[in-house]
Amino acid sequence: MINTLYAGAAMLDITPSAGTHLGGTWGTLRAAEVITERLYARALVLRRGERKLCILQPDLEIIMGPYTARIREAVSESCEMDPDAIMVHLPQPHSTPPLGNFLIDEDF
């Protein structure tokens, strides 16, 4: 039996426009004035036999639970894999946008 490990990777530019709220503050709006570096979402998928593992790493400060669930569900459907085999990992740079409201009122 051959025990082959397959790997695939992708990267997508997710840089928002100027004016987007940046993280790193507590309860205040901090809009991006200029874009000095592009932001990306990176994915690595590993497969051995029928088992798959996906690691997603978007350049975001935080992702709230409901958005993480939606991301895992979308990847699960498009890649035909178990949502429990999909990990969303964040580097948490504090000058990038969050996905979802964190410490900011919904009406802010």
Q: What average pLDDT is seen over the chain? A: 85
pLDDT, position 105 = 52
Confidence check: pLDDT of 108 > 50: no
Q: Which tokens go with 70? A: 């939606």
CB 81 within 8 A of CB 49: no
Residue type at 19 in one-letter notation? G
Question: CA-CA distances (angstroms) from residue 7 to 3, 19, 29, 37, 77?
Answer: 13, 37, 40, 28, 19
Going by C-alpha positions, the residue among 98, 96, 99, 90 that lies closest to residue 36 is: 96
72, HSE (Cβ side, Cα atoms, 13 Å):
17
Percent of the chain with pLDDT over 90: 46
- What does the pLDDT look like over 29-70, one tens digit per residue? 778 888 888 999 999 999 999 899 999 999 988 888 888 999
